[in-house]
Amino acid sequence: MPGATVGISTPQLMELTNWSGPTNVAGIHLIFSVAYGGNTFVVGDDNGNIYTSTTNGASWSAANNIAGPGKFIHALAYGGNTFVAGENSGNVYTSANGVSWSAANNIAINGYIFTIAYSGTTFVAGDGNSGTVYYAAVIFVPTVTTTAISGINSTAAGSGGTVTSNGGGAVTAEGVCWSTSANPTVANSCTNDGTSTPFTSSITGLTVETTYHVRAYATNSAGTGYGSDVQFTTVSYSVTYRFPYFHTAAANVIYCVASNVTSQDATVSFQPKAGGVYISSWFTSINLGTLKANAIDMFTFNGNTATSFAGGVQKTISGPDTSTKGVFYGAYLSFTATTATSPLNCNNITVTCFQGTTTPKRNLVGYLCIDTSGGFFPY
C-alpha cells in the first residue's frame, strides 16, 4: 500500500564497556585464539599451550601443552560438544572438555591452520599457507524413540523403536534393552534387530509378575543413543485352588476333576500345606504334569501319593504323617498357562473334588479359587 510503513526489527547491539583486567594467563607468551563451549573458555598461545576457565574468565588453569614448544595455537572453535584447536604445522587437536586433548592429526602437510569455524554440523579449517580449506562433519550419537509395549504375557513382551536421526553416521546396531531398574543400557539384556528403521523387538526370558523398564537404542561410531524409558509388568496366567483341609488315606481317597476349556495347555502343580496353614516353606511344590487344552484330567490323593490320571504322573508327598490315621493337610492346586497367550481364570479352569470311598460320595466344600485377574471364588 502506498505510504505504508513496514516495521523492521533491528537487533540491539550490546555495549561492552565494562571489561575487567588485564589478567595475565600465559606469562610471556601471546594469546592467539579463544573459544567458548560447554561452560568453559579455552585460549591458546604461541607456545603450544592451552588454558581453560570455568569461571567466566575470572580464574584460569595452568598451562597445558598440547602441541609442543614453539607451536602457535592460532585457531580454536567449539561445536558438537567438541573443542578443535589448530596450529602452525598443520595439526588439529580435539577435546570434549578443553582439558584432555587428542594426539596431533595432521590435516595440512606443511600447512598452517589459521582459522576454524563450526556450522552446526561441520568444522571448516583454513590453511594460512596455501589458501586451502579442510572440513570434517561431526558425528553425533543417534536419536531414537521407544515403541509402546505390546503383547505382554507372563514371560515376554514386544516393543521396538524408530531411529529419527543417525547422527551423521551409519547405524551399526539397534534394538531394545530392558532391566528391572530404570534406564537400562547395552550393559543389560538387549536385542539386536539390525540396522533398518523402524524396527520391532521381542523381549523374552522374563519373570512372571515383575516390572521391567525398556529403552530403544541405536549405535553408530559416536556411541549409543537411547529412547525414553517405558515400563510394564508381566502377568501370571495362573489359577490356584486353595484347600484348607485334606484328610486322605487308603480308605479316604480324594478325587479332583479339573476341566480346561481354553486353547492352551496348563502345567499343574500341587503344594501341600501343613495343617491348613498356608506356609509355602513347609512342603515343596510337586509337578503333576500338564492339563491339556480343551481337556479333562482327574487327580487322586491317596495317603502321601498324588497322581494325575490323564498325565500318568505319580508323585510322593513328603512331610505329613502316613500312619493308618491318614494324612492331614491343606493344599494348593495350581494351573499355569504354558504358552502364556491369554489369561487363565476361575471360569475356564474349573475343579470339583470329592471323597471317593464314601457312599454316597461327598463333595469337598470350603475351598477357594483365586486367579490373576483378581477373581476370588468360594466353593
pLDDT at 72: 95
Residues 6+ apart with CB under 8 A from 293: 260, 262, 263, 264, 265
Indicate the number of domains in the chain: 3
In the chain, helix, strand, coil percent, each to 5? 0, 45, 50
**Other Cβ atoms within 10 Å of 366 Cβ, number:** 10
Claim to verify: residue 338 and residue 244 sit in the same structural domain = yes
Q: Residue 117: what pLDDT? A: 95
Per the CB < 8 A criterion, the answer to whether 341 and 329 are in contact is: no
pLDDT-derived band at 378, boundaries 50, 70, 90 = low
Instruction: Order the strands of the 82-87 sheet from edge to edge.
Output: 73-79, 82-87, 91-95, 105-106
pLDDT, one tens digit per residue, over 318-351 is: 554 444 445 667 788 999 886 666 678 888 999 9
Together in a domain, 347 and 306: yes
Q: Report CA torsion sign: 58, 62, 64, 70.
A: positive
Q: Find the CATH number of the domain harbouring 183.
A: 2.60.40.10
State residue 326's pLDDT score: 53
Is the confidence at residue 131, as pLDDT, over 70?
yes
Last residue of a domain, one of 233, 262, 293: 233
135 pLDDT more than 80: yes
- pLDDT above 90 for 87: yes
pLDDT at position 281, please? 45
Structure pTM?
A: 0.60
**How far is Cα 112 from Cα 201, in angstroms, rounded to an integer?**
51
* Residue 2, domain member (yes or no): no
Here the cell at position 189 is 539384556
Report yes or no on 369 lying in a domain. Answer: yes
Outline where 52-193 has alpha helix (H).
none
In a domain, 3, yes or no: no
Q: Is residue 89 included in any domain, yes or no?
A: yes
Whether residues 170 and 226 fall in one domain: yes
CB atoms within 10 A of CB 375: 14
Q: What is the pLDDT of residues 287-302, one digit of tens each?
A: 888 999 999 999 988 8
* Contact in structure between 246 and 254 (CB atoms under 8 Å): yes
CA 219/CA 227 separation, integer angstroms: 12
7 domain-assigned: no
Q: Confirm whether 12 is domain-assigned.
A: no
> Which pLDDT belongs to residue 306?
82
| Proportion of the chain above pLDDT 90, given as a percent | 54
Are residues 363 and 343 part of one domain? yes
**Model confidence at 304, in pLDDT bands (50, 70, 90)?**
confident
Closest to 120 measured CA to CA, from 138, 104, 103, 95: 138
Mean pLDDT of the chain: 86
Same domain, 130 and 170: no
Whether residue 288 sits in one domain with residue 275? yes
Looking at the fold, whether 35 and 116 belong to one and the same domain comes out as yes
The DSSP result for 314-336, as a single string, is EEEPPSS--STT-EEEEEEEEEE
> Higher model confidence: residue 239 or residue 251?
239
Same-domain pairing of 268 and 316: yes
pLDDT band with cut points at 50, 70 and 90 for residue 357: low
Is residue 325 located within the same domain as residue 365?
yes
Residue 123 lies in a domain: yes
Say whether both 225 and 256 belong to one domain. Answer: no
Q: Judge if 242 and 364 occupy the same domain.
A: yes
Distance CA 13, CA 310 (A): 90
Chain segment 268-281, per-residue pLDDT in tens: 988 876 554 444 44
Asked, for residue 24, whether it belongs to a domain, the answer is: no
- CA distance to 1, 63, 79, 114, 146, per residue, from 50 (Å): 58, 6, 17, 16, 42
Please compute Rg for the chain using Cα positions: 37
CATH of the domain at 54: 2.120.10.80
Domain boundary among 90, 108, 137: 137
Least confident of 40-49, 52-61, 68-77, 367-376: 367-376
- Is residue 30 over pLDDT 50? yes
Domain extent for 157: 143-233
- Residue that is written with C-alpha cell 495343617 in the block: 275
Report the candidate in 318, 155, 181, 327 with the shortest Cα–Cα distance to residue 252.
327
In this structure, the answer to whether residues 296 and 169 fall within a common structural domain is: no
Domain boundary among 112, 137, 162: 137
